[in-house]
Amino acid sequence: MPIRRFLFLLLIVCLLAGAGFMVWQYFSPSDERRIAALLEECADAVAFGRGEAPAGALLKLRAIESRIEDELTIRWRRRGAVQEQRLDRRAVMGHLASSRKYLSDLRIDVSDLNITVDGDSAFAESSIQLSGHATDGRWDDPILEEVSFELVRRDGVWRVAAVNTRDFMEK
């Protein structure tokens, strides 16, 4: 086999391998994409519209139940003081489900998402706007929060381990 033909075939094989790798990279989501999709999925599952059937909402919440760690830490900062609460997964799901008693609808918009992955842990920061209406009419103004999430990967699946919030202008 002449050397030119061999080099040409080698070039074709390298090009095909490179193209295959690029296609694989494109269709195989990165950890950042998986985490962004997880947080969007959680926001969609928690949000609900006016008149949405409770059974449908429960099914949406059940879909994300396995994406929360067994114990979730919630930290919030108000006027310089940090408060922290640890809830098991069942309590978190109960609180999310009971929000329907107090709210007639809830929309959640996630924006400015910034994700940093370090091995089997990750940190995500975002602005989240909550808007909806209280059943007693006392709340109908949007709330804008700066929220960060701590995530861990267990058995190849990303799970939310902690949620941290602070006053919007506190940075």
CB 121 within 8 A of CB 152: yes
pLDDT digits (tens, 9 = 90+) for 68-123: 999 999 888 777 788 889 999 899 888 888 887 888 888 888 888 899 999 999 99
Q: Which residues, at least 6 apart from 86, have a Cβ–Cβ distance to it below 8 Å?
A: 71, 72, 73, 74
- Domain membership of residue 119 as a residue range: 31-166
Residue 26 lies in a domain: no
Output the pTM of the full model: 0.74
- Identify the CA nearest to 73 among candidates 152, 137, 131: 152
Residue 15 lies in a domain: no
pLDDT band at 21 (very low <50, low <70, confident <90, very high): low
Residue 117 lies in a domain: yes
Residue 16 lies in a domain: no
Residue 10 lies in a domain: no
Domain tally for the chain?
1
pLDDT at position 16 over 70: yes
pLDDT at position 15 over 80: no
- Here the CATH number for the domain that contains residue 113 is 3.10.450.50
State the average pLDDT over residues 2-17: 77
Could you tell me the end-to-end alpha-carbon distance of the chain, in angstroms, rounded to an integer? 67
- Identify the CA nearest to 110 among candidates 162, 49, 164, 37: 37
State the average pLDDT over residues 127-131: 84
40 against 22, higher pLDDT: 40
The predicted pLDDT at position 171 comes to 47
- Sign, CA dihedral 68-56-130-134, equals negative
Residue 102 lies in a domain: yes
- Identify the CA nearest to 85 among candidates 76, 97, 93: 76
pLDDT at position 124 over 70: yes
The predicted pLDDT at position 104 comes to 82
Residue 39 lies in a domain: yes
Residue 19 lies in a domain: no
Residue-averaged pLDDT of the chain: 82
For residue 118, give both structure tokens: 């370090």
At 148, give phi and psi (nearest 5°). -125, 150
The predicted pLDDT at position 122 comes to 94
The predicted pLDDT at position 24 comes to 66
Neighbours of 149 (CB within 10 A): 21
With a pLDDT cut of 70, the percent of the chain lying above it is 89
